[in-house]
A and B are shown apart, each in its own frame.
Chain A
Amino acid sequence: MSSPSPPLSTESDFPKASPRWLQPLVLLSPAGIWLALLLVIPTLLILELSLVPGIRPGQVVNPSGLENYTRIFQPDYFPVLTRSLSFAIATTLICLLLGFPVAYWIALIVPKRWRNLVVLGFVLPLWTSSLLRSYAWITILRPTGVMNSLLGTVGLPPLDILNREPAVLIGMTYSLLPYMVLILYAALEKLDRSLLEAAADLGATPAQAFWNVTVPQTLTGIAAGSLLVFISCMGDFINPEVLGGASSMTVARLVYNQFLGATQNWGFGSALSMILILIVSIAIALWLKYGDRSSAGGV
């Protein structure tokens, strides 16, 4: 607020009965009601549904046990959970490895007047539909597609990766790399370059300076970017469905199938959703505890 009204005089206008802590509630309540109605209550409903074994639409909800949860940990479904986790972890690592050099280049090497243009170029793919981007990868990756004709012209054997794990990884990485780059770029832009010069002055090799000066300063960005990519991968339904095949079921796909797909078991689907929520919550809790230290203490 830039209006110069003196805060003390407005405060005395309020009746004494209204304590100071109540005032922010007026502004907070729209978001609060929004969260309660559209996040808290639905999540509680999902929790309740997850306790009803094998429920289908039209049946009465009557929570009676943990069968849906024990089913998830059966050998038939446990691989789905580990597959989802491996997709998410692998995509996060690939995005980090590919994204860091790019973000470093944009933040520290590209001349300032070009920087915004380069950033824009990098986020441009996000302006198209994610479904369309996945379908475009089908055209590239399919056995008689663009990739294999290119491989053929340079005399390499064709690759059969569509409807397999590598295709899903490519799709996820392509979808989420821009987010990783943006977050790392924001972190690297704030890098204190005088510290790098000091490190060089004191005899550090570029590698030492990178590991001891650059990485610690951008740790918050690395953690935030990784968290965002990891969470998005856990919930990604489109890439595994479009680019995956008969053997690449993930938790998000399985949840979809329980509600709107071939099988109707809202209880099992809800239990799977709760497990997904739990995994994501653990990731966020870890980040809150360990990831955000530098910004909390440093700034």
Chain B
Amino acid sequence: MTIPSHPQTPSLSRRRFLQASATAASGLVLSGCGWTLAEVRPTTLSRGNKDEIYIYTWESYVDSQLIETFKTQTGIQVTPSLFSSNEEMLAAFQAGKSANFSVIYPSDYTVGEMIEKRLLSKLDHSRISGLENLMPQFQDSAYDRNNEHSIPISWGTTGLIYNSEALNPAPDDWEYLWQNQQKLMRKMTLLDDKREVMGVTLKTLGYSYNSTNLQEIQHAYEKLVTLKPAVTTFTTSAWIDRLLAGDLLLAMVYSADAVRVINENPDRKFKYVIPKSGSSLWSDTMVIPKSSPNPDAAYAWINFMLQPAIAADITQRLFFATPNQAAYDQLPTPLRNDRSLFPSEDVINACERIIPLRPEILELYDQYWTKLTSG
């Protein structure tokens, strides 16, 4: 009998929940007659120790070896906090966690949202070295022109990881989930991510991942309801142990997690597929919030992560695709040719990026998502 050595979903820990709830109260800032909910302001309270930096990042993006190397190079101690979805990160950030973090790792569409909310400081590119190493398609993006506020750190796709011994024929498109519902009954999980799950269903129906059409969104919700009895749970990472144990046959996942699981289990039983009708293409970035208590250390961290040797090293150890050409060139050939990690041009072309939605459309997604998970 094994007890998980680390909770699979750190967002659940009671301590973090309490911390976040407590800080939620401190985020209520009075302003004039009405007050603004959870307004984020630059903090003057914690100017921070200059040998210390707190970063807010995805699970599995930082490991102790990386922290050690950074400390040896710069003398700065890094303390990471983890999140498992952009929404969770943004909510906790706005609820008062903003005071701690000097570097945050939002994904593309969330960068756009954070820029719009004026939460991010404009990056001083003269203090960053190695930007020229980024692949051309990562030099500029629709969510953040010329990387003015964010530096891409990794990219990937959303797809399906499956047990290739149990599933024959293998899944090749999203529609597979609906067609093989009986076989997959309570043996599959979907991401706990409303934009991805709704997006996939929209894509299955032939619509855009980012549909803003009310009928299309409702149509997608209705299709998802028919799949729900077969879904064990909505989770970003709790599928790992159970896929390995054989409790699950298939899981909707981010490519970075899938590639890591596949490479750590060399019996090649598990495979990752990007469904052929297309999926989402995402990139995660590093940003410095305006409220950062230690911007100097934040620049040091970004420069560190941009070093080709470091970027190549984490790609090999943590398995997320690097946008850094110089780092890519240093990778061993098998990894460079891994089509799950670095998909081919036409697969990428079939994928869409998730873009920020207007608040009233986003609220519709929220309402359908809450309805779906409440039923």
Contacts and interface: CB of A to CB of B under 8 A. Distances in A.
> Do A and B form a real pair?
yes
Interface of A: 42, 45, 49, 54-62, 76-77, 79-80, 129-132, 135-136, 138-140, 142-144, 146, 160, 162-163, 237-238, 241-242, 244-247, 249, 254, 256-266, 268
B131 interface: no
Nearest to A264: B91
A58 B28 CA distance: 10
Interface in B342-371: 359, 363, 366, 369-371
A133 to B, nearest CB: 10
A135 B91 contact: no
Contacts of B95: 57, 259-260
Contact of A262 (B87, B231, B371): B87
Given A132-B3, A246-B232, A260-B91, A57 B38 contact: yes
A79 B375 contact: yes
A262 B193 contact: yes
Which of A60, A163, A254, A263 lies at the interface centre, i.e. has the most chain B CB atoms within 10 A of its CB?
Answer: A263
Given A57-B38, A135-B4, A246-B232, A262 B369 contact: yes
A256 B13 CA distance: 12
Given A160-B186, A241-B12, A246-B373, A61 B3 contact: no
Given A55-B37, A62-B34, A246 B231 contact: yes
B176 interface: no
A150 B210 CA distance: 48
B231 A242 contact: no
B374 A131 contact: no
B140 to A, nearest CB: 27
A76 B374 CA distance: 7
B2 A58 contact: no
A263 B247 contact: no
A157 B218 CA distance: 40
B366 A61 contact: no
Contacts of A263: 87, 194, 366, 369-370
Nearest to B14: A131
B20 interface: yes
B247 A58 contact: no
Contacts of B2: 139
Interface in B1-58: 1-4, 7-9, 11-14, 17, 20-21, 24-25, 27-28, 34-40
Contact of A60 (B25, B35, B233): B35
A292 to B, nearest CB: 30
B307 interface: no
Interface of B: 1-4, 7-9, 11-14, 17, 20-21, 24-25, 27-28, 34-40, 85, 87-88, 90-92, 94-95, 117, 186, 190, 192-194, 228-229, 231-234, 242, 245-247, 359, 363, 366, 369-371, 373-375
B247 A246 contact: no
B178 to A, nearest CB: 15
A57 B94 contact: yes
Nearest to A263: B366
Contacts of A254: 370, 374
Given A60-B36, A76-B371, A247-B228, A144 B4 contact: no
Nearest to A78: B374
A169 B14 CA distance: 19
A96 B13 CA distance: 28
B251 to A, nearest CB: 13
26 contacts: A57-B94, A58-B94, A60-B35, A60-B36, A61-B34, A76-B375, A135-B8, A139-B4, A238-B12, A244-B233, A245-B231, A245-B233, A246-B228, A246-B232, A246-B373, A249-B374, A259-B20, A260-B11, A260-B20, A261-B11, A261-B87, A262-B87, A262-B88, A262-B192, A264-B90, A264-B366
A130 B94 contact: no
A163 B186 contact: yes
A282 B205 CA distance: 47
A77 B370 CA distance: 9
Contacts of A259: 20-21, 24, 91, 95
B244 to A, nearest CB: 10
The 3 nearest A-B residue pairs measured at CB:
A57-B38, A57-B94, A263-B366
Contacts of B25: 42, 45
A58 B91 contact: no
Nearest to B186: A160
B3 A144 contact: no
A144 B247 contact: yes
B12 A61 contact: no
A54 B363 contact: yes
Contacts of A54: 363
A238 B247 contact: no
Nearest to A245: B233
A131 B91 contact: no
Nearest to B187: A143
Given A131-B12, A146-B1, A259-B91, A266 B373 contact: no
Given A58-B117, A241-B12, A260 B233 contact: no
Nearest to B11: A260
A264 B87 contact: yes
Nearest to B189: A246
